[in-house]
Amino acid sequence: MRLEVKDLRVQYGKIEAIKGISFTVEQGEIVTLIGANGAGKTTTLKTISGLRAVASGSITYNGEDISKVPAHERVNLGISQAPEGRGIFPGMTVLENLEIGKYSRKDRKNEMAEDLEKVYHLFPRLKERINQAGGTLSGGEQQMLAIGRALMARPNVLLLDEPSMGLAPMMIQNIFNIITSINKELGTTILLVEQNAQQALQRAHRAYVLETGKIVKEAKASDLLNDPAVRAAYLGTGAEKGHH
């Protein structure tokens, strides 16, 4: 698996949201894009999954340019997304949400039981709630469901859009622990977009800093965690040391 974004530009009408960014995600990595609100993080992910059109530049996946492939076919290629705001189907049960996550798989009948078990193993809470409507879950549970649902498609690369958004600190820890174990145990490559830079940089291997549609910095995540400029801009105060 190799994902490469090159000179990518994305427009909303006449406004350019992404102004020529390039980055790569290698097999087995957790790569994070951090940045403030409106920096273009979500747009970048949506463009990779095909929900936004590429104005210019390319998205290469395993050596093939996929920037013209329709969104619903990119899941088949192994690119799965847990979208911003979780995107749970509110009127469907937890189980139905997970089942529809398998929609793209040809062999879904045979894989279903095994993959449900895999998701329940990662998120035991979901198993207790299988017959509950998705819309009635707590924010943290919905995030678990969004990630679990994305895993049902057996992705090579998992795109996570702000998994910590709106969650209590305990739940954030919990979610990020699971993200780490998905990467380590299942070997799934992860591209993580986050405003919670502290958590994202602790968990990721490499990181890119996005500011108003441009990448302004790239480095090993642990280096950025100790970078005074990054600390000042994204980790609260520059002097205080982040908790672990």
Partner 1 sequence: MNFSVVVNQFWPLLINGLAVGLIYVLISLGYTMVYGVLRLINFANSEIFMVGTFATVIVTRDIFKYTSAHEALHGFKLVATLLLILIASMLFSGVTAVLVELVAYRRLRSKGTNRLASLISAIGTSIMISEGVRILTKSAPVPTPRLLTKFNLISIGGVDIRIDTFLVIVSAALIFFMVDRFVTKTLLGKAIRAVSMSEETSKLMGVNLNRVISATFLIGGLVTGAAAFLYMQVYETTVFNVGFNLGLAAFTAAVLGGIGNIRGAFYGGLTLGLFEQYASAIIGGQWKAVTVFSVLVLVLLFKPNGLFGEAIQQSRV
Determine which helix (DSSP H) or strand (DSSP E) holds 171, and give its type and residue range: helix 169-185
Least distance to partner 1, CB of residue 51, Å: 6
Least distance to partner 1, CB of residue 104, Å: 3
Instruction: Give me the DSSP letters along 98-139.
Output: HHHTTTT-TTHHHHHHHHHHHHHHH-HHHHHTTTSBGGGS-H
Beta carbon nearer to partner 1, 146 or 215? 146
- How many helices (H) and strands (E) in the chain? 10, 10
Does 148 sit near partner 1 (CB under 8 A)?
no
Does 149 sit near partner 1 (CB under 8 A)?
yes
**To 10 degrees, the CA torsion angle through 65, 70, 71, 72?**
-120
> Token pair for residue 174?
């919990």
Least distance to partner 1, CB of residue 43, Å: 13
* Residue carrying the six token digits 């890119």: 208
Does 51 sit near partner 1 (CB under 8 A)?
yes
Among positions 87-146, residues that touch partner 1 (CB under 8 A) are 87, 89-93, 96, 99-101, 103-104, 108, 133, 135
Apex 100 CA angle, 142 and 75, nearest 5:
95
Among positions 159-198, residues that touch partner 1 (CB under 8 A) are none
Does 32 sit near partner 1 (CB under 8 A)?
no
147 touches 182 (CB < 8 A): yes
Least distance to partner 1, CB of residue 228, Å: 38
- The site that binds partner 1 (CB under 8 A) totals a number of residues, namely 30
Beta carbon nearer to partner 1, 34 or 153? 153
Does 49 sit near partner 1 (CB under 8 A)?
yes
Does 75 sit near partner 1 (CB under 8 A)?
yes
> Token pair for residue 139?
């924010």
Taking CB under 8 A as the criterion, the residue among 153, 179, 182, 233 binding partner 1 is 153
Q: Are strands 2-12 and 30-34 parallel, antiparallel or unpaired?
A: unpaired
Beta carbon nearer to partner 1, 71 or 229? 71
Q: Can you tell me the distance from the alpha carbon of 169 to that of 84, in angstroms, rounded to the nearest whole number?
A: 18
94 touches 137 (CB < 8 A): yes
Apex 204 CA angle, 227 and 170, nearest 5:
95
Helix (H, G, I), strand (E, B) or coil at 27: coil
Taking CB under 8 A as the criterion, the residue among 50, 78, 140, 148 binding partner 1 is 50
Least distance to partner 1, CB of residue 145, Å: 12
Beta carbon nearer to partner 1, 81 or 198? 81
Binding residues vs partner 1 (CB under 8 A): 49-51, 70-73, 75-76, 80-81, 83, 87, 89-93, 96, 99-101, 103-104, 108, 133, 135, 149-150, 153
